[in-house]
Structure 1
Amino acid sequence: MPGLIRRTLLLSGLAAAAGGIALWRWRGPGARDVAYGDGPLQVLDITYPRGVDAAPVLVMIHGGAFRAGDKSDLAVWPELLDAGIAVVRVNYRLSSTDRWPAQSEDCLSAIVHLQREAPGLGLDPSRLVLLGQSAGAFLAVSTALSLVEVGLKPRGVVSLYGPMDFSTMDEDMAALGRTPAMGATDAAASPESQLLGYPVGENRAMARALGPIGRLDQLREPLPPILIRHGDADPMIADLQAKRLREAWLAADPQAEVDYKLVEGAGHGGEAFETGDVRADVLAFVTKALG
């Protein structure tokens, strides 16, 4: 999304939020399929903690190779609600019907909606962390960078086993001596090429520029804390993508807090990212970031 459009979208949404009056408040444990746009996939779910009128927010973005998946795939951990944190799970348009940057625009539109309707929704999106898994990590990090660019730095970002630079995904798998389980990213049939509308291998520069690594190359702003976890046996996305994200984040802001670890023996998602040390690390990071 061009910078001017992105800035206009966000700032117009925030202006509406600043002047808005709360006309309603959601009651009960949650709200399902709250529309932030006109399309059937432009909806989000909110799960509320008990006894908090203006809860800080964890926004979660699902994976699915940009062409599948649903917000319901994301588990709402009870520890988050116990800590007084509202969980927002976002759906977005998929590449089977809409090319990039529709997915980026949707994630930003969801944040604008939370800002605009915050009083009525019972949320405090000035305290916000973004979390994504796989393709959702690409979108979560991208959305965080867009917020940074307009002076609305989130409190933190969690990136779980996501692609970060489409142009080097095949190179990274080859460096680890692996054959990607979903085939070459450079190929026209890859999820990334289908998302973009052209084979990644035919325009690496453009594919790199629109992703988090390419954008971080051009960014020199204070960045939020980030937690990065990736399985060191991932058969779909090389863990070197996580290393690239760590290095680019620190190059853009040497003072940024980066919590980076590879998950030993873990593949692409699964139980290793829902239990044990990863779960504990994510919970600690999010609760600290949201105060």
Structure 2
Amino acid sequence: MHITELTDLDYAGTGLQSHKLYLAIPESTSKITPGASTDGTAPAPHPLIVYIHGGGWVGGNFDAGATGLATGRADTEAFLKAGYAVAVINYRLSTEARWPAQIHDCKAAIRFLRAHASDWNIDPNRIVAWGASAGAHLAQFLGFTNGNEHYDNRSIGYDTATRNASSDVNVVIAAFGISNIATWSTSDAYWHDMVEYYKDTILGADRTAAEEADASPIAHVTTSPSLAETMPPMLLAHADDDPVVPAQQTRALECRLREAGLSEHIETWYPETGGHGDPEVWRSPKATTRFIGFCNAHLG
């Protein structure tokens, strides 16, 4: 499979490694037909997967010059083979800046990719936010705050086009994500203290209930008609045996969404096993077929 790799794209214009993204663009394919040229003069623009890494908001950024970020994994490689471009983004870790820096950066990355979509034959109207663990928390947050300028720091941007573009996403995939920081805890002795460290680092040990709510996707689920209009289709996935982020985090979010009358916006998947990111489950053909199928169904 032939792809074009672009490394260390500075979406914020700061020069920070935390503000870099990687982009892999596959060769033109007929597998994705929406948007195809009718006169045969140009290939169809690629839908885009924006992968947001986990790591408790304290780790996971790729190093300068990193390559192969999309071809070294079965799941991202499957998206490339299906005709999707794949971006992998860095964001300021909580050891660098506390919340809401992380969501500000994610939104800035989306704006940059949309503003420059034509440079890479990407469809700006078919952008998927896909995250795992802490990255799923951010992907959920993106979906629930489409059009919400409160979380869009437009001073962050490579250029004027980036600062002015929309940060909306069109589909969300959230795998074993944290939906409620206030209730996130684990009975697993090995992980208990680490979970508390993650929370203390992103919000502070002296955080208030209001600050926890502000940073929790579940708190942004309302019965307001505006959310029904702006929320994208969302696939929520979580293994029942997750020792780090209990599946109740996602089940509670599902319940809140259904109570808010948003059942038609979501699909759920709760494999019995899969732990917290076990690649045998989360990068398996079963998972990638489900993820790609969900995106195709809602982007066509």
Deviation at 1:250, TM superposition (A): 2.8
CA RMSD of aligned residues (A): 2.5
* Structure 2: distance between partners of 1:152 and 1:45: 18
- Given that 1:224 and 1:256 are in contact with CA atoms closer than 8 Å, whether structure 2 keeps it comes out as no
Q: 1:141-220 alignment to 2 at 5 Å?
A: 141-149=140-148, 154-170=169-185, 173=186, 178-179=187-188, 181-183=190-192, 187=196, 190-199=197-206, 203-217=208-222, 219-220=224-225
* Structure 1: distance between partners of 2:224 and 2:5: 37
For the residue of structure 2 that corresponds to 1:227, the secondary structure is strand
- Given that 2:99 and 2:215 are in contact with CA atoms closer than 8 Å, whether structure 1 keeps it comes out as no
Deviation at 1:33, TM superposition (A): 1.0
Look up the match of 2:133: 134
Matched residue type, 2:178:
P
Deviation at 1:186, TM superposition (A): 8.2
Deviation at 1:122, TM superposition (A): 2.3
Look up the match of 1:254: 262
For the residue of structure 1 that corresponds to 2:17, the secondary structure is coil
Look up the match of 2:46: 55
- Given that 1:63 and 1:135 are in contact with CA atoms closer than 8 Å, whether structure 2 keeps it comes out as yes
Q: 1:87-102 alignment to 2 at 5 Å?
A: 87-102=86-101
TM-score with structure 1 setting the length: 0.79
* Structure 1: distance between partners of 2:103 and 2:127: 17
Look up the match of 1:103: 102
For the residue of structure 2 that corresponds to 1:260, the secondary structure is strand
* Structure 2: distance between partners of 1:83 and 1:233: 30
Deviation at 1:266, TM superposition (A): 1.9
Look up the match of 1:6: none
- Given that 2:46 and 2:83 are in contact with CA atoms closer than 8 Å, whether structure 1 keeps it comes out as yes
Q: 1:26-45 alignment to 2 at 5 Å?
A: 29-37=4-12, 38=14, 39-45=16-22
Deviation at 1:228, TM superposition (A): 1.1
Name structure 2 gaps, 5 residues minimum.
Answer: 29-42, 63-68, 150-165
Q: 1:86 to 1:233 in 2, by over 3 A?
A: same
Name structure 1 gaps, 5 residues minimum.
Answer: 1-26
Q: Which of 224, 239, 246 does residue 232 from structure 2 map onto?
A: 224
Matched residue type, 1:274:
R
Look up the match of 2:252: 244
* Structure 2: distance between partners of 1:152 and 1:219: 21
For the residue of structure 2 that corresponds to 1:147, the secondary structure is coil
Matched residue type, 1:34:
L
Q: 1:180 to 1:214 in 2, by over 3 A?
A: farther
Deviation at 1:218, TM superposition (A): 6.9
TM-score with structure 2 setting the length: 0.77
Count residues in correspondence: 255
For the residue of structure 2 that corresponds to 1:127, the secondary structure is strand
2:129 is aligned with 1:124: no
Matched residue type, 1:216:
V
Q: 1:69 to 1:204 in 2, by over 3 A?
A: same
For the residue of structure 1 that corresponds to 2:245, the secondary structure is coil
- Percent identity of paired positions between Structure 1 and Structure 2: 27
Q: Which of 262, 273, 278 does residue 282 from structure 2 map onto?
A: 273
Matched residue type, 1:251:
E
Matched residue type, 2:25:
Y
- Given that 2:25 and 2:120 are in contact with CA atoms closer than 8 Å, whether structure 1 keeps it comes out as no
- Given that 2:51 and 2:88 are in contact with CA atoms closer than 8 Å, whether structure 1 keeps it comes out as yes
CA offset digits 1:105-138 (Å, max 9, x no partner): 1000001111222222321121111100000000
* Structure 2: distance between partners of 1:180 and 1:237: 13
* Structure 1: distance between partners of 2:113 and 2:243: 36
Deviation at 1:53, TM superposition (A): 5.5
CA offset digits 1:202-239 (Å, max 9, x no partner): x2332023210011147542222111111111111110
